[in-house]
Amino acid sequence: MTREWVDDRKANPFDKRWVMRCDTIHASGQRCTTEGNPSMVQPDLELYVRLGWHIGQVYGDMCPLCLAAGYVPSSSPHKLMNLTVKEVQQ
């Protein structure tokens, strides 16, 4: 899942903040390094939809840079992806 605890990748096991991470695996085999700002609550998915992310229903979130580079989401989209930008901004 891409909405993870910051400490899932960091040395500090007590850093209990959430961070949004892109799940794209590049041709090199490396995962995209794009991630959102850590926060004390789970990431606001509506914000990420407004910013152009593909939000997966369970996994497979993809940042706008990877989408623009031609990577195609392989996951089912989150229900928020069906909303128009106007609906998301409300």
Distance, CA of 19 to CA of 42 (rounded, Å): 7
Contacts by 34-40, CB closer than 8 A, 24 or more apart: 34/63, 34/65, 34/66, 38/6, 40/16
pLDDT tens digits, one per residue of 25-82:
999 999 999 988 888 888 888 889 989 999 998 889 999 999 999 999 988 898 888 8
Give the per-residue pLDDT at 13. 61
- Is the CB of residue 68 less than 8 Å from the CB of residue 53? no
